[in-house]
């Protein structure tokens, strides 16, 4: 539970900036695109440092890593809250991303260690649920706090969540067995497997698509929010609730029909949703439908994607999960930069077309990965 709470805090920090982006831009006197890079730098350090930290800290106590990550995360968010200028805020966001990398990879691998093998899928789902629930509760609450007071209090809110997780981990989580040391080269070795590479490419492209919209959500849906914090928070709640429901249901669908069919369905629906966004974001009723479809299908691809990559390399599951986590945040990094360019080149209203392009590419790579997995399994059966 406390691992999920930590992921809830990390998820809130990832998603809440989008809800207070106009306030941040105004407060520091920068453009919306520049303010969006606060999400980009957080995602970049998170994604790039996750495998590095996991490799060099492989001999360190899991509990110590979890607590260290959370403490640094708390301090970095408090530092963001009191930052005197945009440069300092960016540095604090980079440190927060590094701390998040330390915690998230450790939390996922620890969840797998402390439960029997047959319950590992459920354990992963519980930890991921912390992320999806953060979109339903944490991000809207943070946006509401920022709208009613100041965006800096939003950062304090995130710090309090992480502090609560640290207290719980310190008081109630037992010592977790230290995993066998895995070097950085060993952690990157799975990339040579075509199935892993294609799966990670699909993850990267999907999160580039999703966060091209999410990072600039407050301006993409400005026609229906009219700058209202309450309406924006309501849309964030719907997005998060749809994702939470999806997280509960999709695991069962994966068990029933396999991850390939679930991934194709989810990615197809979310790509179509993005294509229609320039029109659906013009009215409240259609925006609600677009947000719900996006939230349900977007979060709905996480569990089958995690299930797929663990199935490819079950003996090194923590390693490939860490790579998938890195692909997630590197996609988020690319989205922040590409979204800013997209706003300048295409306008905010047409950003859905850019996201749809990356969504379609993610679908293509997911299907290529599925075919590679299928043919590998056939060859194994033939030689057995």
**Vertex 335, ends 362 and 281: CA angle to 5°?**
85
Q: Per the structure block, which two tokens stand in for 345?
A: 């080149």
Q: Per the structure block, which two tokens stand in for 225?
A: 């929010």
The pLDDT of residue 113: 65
From the list 21, 6, 80, 383, the residue with the least C-alpha distance to 219 is: 21
Burial label for 380, CB within 10 Å (0-12, 13-18, 19+), is exposed
- Residues 167 and 4: beta-carbon distance below 8 Å: no
From the list 126, 159, 148, 209, the residue with the least C-alpha distance to 13 is: 159
- Please report, rounded to a whole number, the percentage of residues in the chain having pLDDT higher than 70: 90
Which segments of the chain does DSSP mark as H helices, in order? 2-19, 21-28, 32-35, 37-56, 62-81, 86-113, 120-133, 139-148, 151-172, 184-188, 194-214, 217-220, 222-225, 229-257, 259-280, 284-300, 302-312, 317-346, 351-383
Tell me the average confidence (pLDDT) per consecutive run of 10 residues in the chain, 384 residues long: 81 83 91 89 85 74 87 96 96 94 78 63 66 71 82 93 90 70 71 90 94 89 87 85 82 84 93 96 95 90 85 79 82 88 90 96 95 84 72
Q: Per the structure block, which two tokens stand in for 332?
A: 């988020």
Give tens-digit pLDDT for 255-298. 888 888 999 999 999 999 999 999 999 999 999 999 999 999 98
From the list 141, 1, 153, the residue with the least C-alpha distance to 77 is: 153
Domain count, the chain: 1
* Angle between helical axes of 259-280 and 284-300 (0-180°, round to 10): 160
The pLDDT of residue 1: 65
The pLDDT of residue 221: 93
Residue 238 sits in a domain whose CATH number is 1.20.1250.20
* Angle between helical axes of 284-300 and 302-312 (0-180°, round to 10): 20
The pLDDT of residue 189: 77
Contacts of 91 (CB under 8 A, 6+ apart): none
* Angle between helical axes of 120-133 and 229-257 (0-180°, round to 10): 170
CA distance linking residue 345 with residue 375, whole number of Å: 42
CA distance linking residue 365 with residue 209, whole number of Å: 14
Contacts of 137 (CB under 8 A, 6+ apart): 8, 237, 240
The pLDDT of residue 121: 59
Distance from the Cα of residue 361 to its chain's centroid:
19
Provide the residue count of the chain. 384
Residue 190 domain boundaries: 2-383
- Residues 313 and 193: beta-carbon distance below 8 Å: yes
Cα Rg, the chain, nearest whole Å: 20
Q: Per the structure block, which two tokens stand in for 161?
A: 């969540």
C-alpha dihedral (199, 94, 99, 218), degrees to nearest 10: -70
The pLDDT of residue 180: 64
């Amino acid at each position: 539970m406390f691992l999920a709470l930590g992921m809830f805090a990390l998820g809130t920090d990832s998603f809440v900036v989008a809800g207070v982006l106009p306030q941040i831009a105004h407060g520091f006197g920068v453009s919306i695109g520049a303010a969006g890079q606060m999400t980009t730098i957080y995602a970049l350090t998170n994604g790039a440092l996750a495998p590095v930290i996991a490799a060099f800290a492989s001999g360190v106590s899991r509990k110590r890593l979890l607590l260290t990550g959370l403490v640094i995360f708390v301090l970095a968010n408090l530092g963001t809250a009191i930052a005197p200028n945009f440069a300092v805020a960016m540095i604090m966001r980079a440190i927060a991303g590094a701390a998040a990398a330390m915690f998230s990879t450790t939390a996922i691998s620890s969840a797998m260690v402390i439960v029997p093998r047959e319950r590992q899928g459920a354990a992963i789902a519980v930890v991921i649920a912390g992320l999806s629930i953060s979109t339903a509760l944490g991000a809207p609450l943070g946006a509401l706090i920022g709208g009613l007071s100041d965006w800096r209090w939003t950062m304090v809110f995130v710090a309090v969540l992480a502090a609560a997780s640290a207290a719980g981990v310190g008081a109630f989580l037992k010592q977790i067995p230290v995993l066998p040391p895995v070097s950085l080269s060993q952690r990157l070795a799975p990339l040579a497997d075509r199935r892993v590479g294609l799966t990670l490419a699909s993850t990267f492209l999907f999160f580039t698509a999703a966060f091209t919209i999410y990072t600039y959500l407050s301006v993409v849906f400005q026609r229906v929010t009219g700058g209202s914090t309450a309406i924006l928070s309501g849309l964030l709640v719907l997005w998060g609730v749809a994702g939470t429901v999806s997280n509960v249901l999709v695991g069962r669908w994966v068990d029933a029909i396999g991850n390939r069919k679930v991934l194709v369905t989810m990615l197809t629906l979310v790509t179509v949703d993005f294509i229609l966004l320039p029109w659906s974001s013009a009215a409240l009723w259609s925006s609600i439908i677009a947000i719900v479809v996006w939230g349900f299908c977007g979060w709905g691809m996480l569990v089958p994607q995690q299930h797929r990559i663990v199935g490819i390399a079950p003996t090194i599951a923590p390693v490939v999960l860490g790579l998938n986590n890195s692909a997630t945040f590197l996609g988020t990094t690319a989205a922040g930069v590409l979204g800013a360019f997209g706003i300048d080149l295409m306008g905010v209203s047409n950003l859905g077309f850019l996201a749809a392009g990356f969504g379609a590419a993610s679908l293509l790579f997911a299907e290529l990965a599925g075919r590679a997995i299928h043919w590998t399994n056939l060859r194994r059966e033939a030689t057995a």
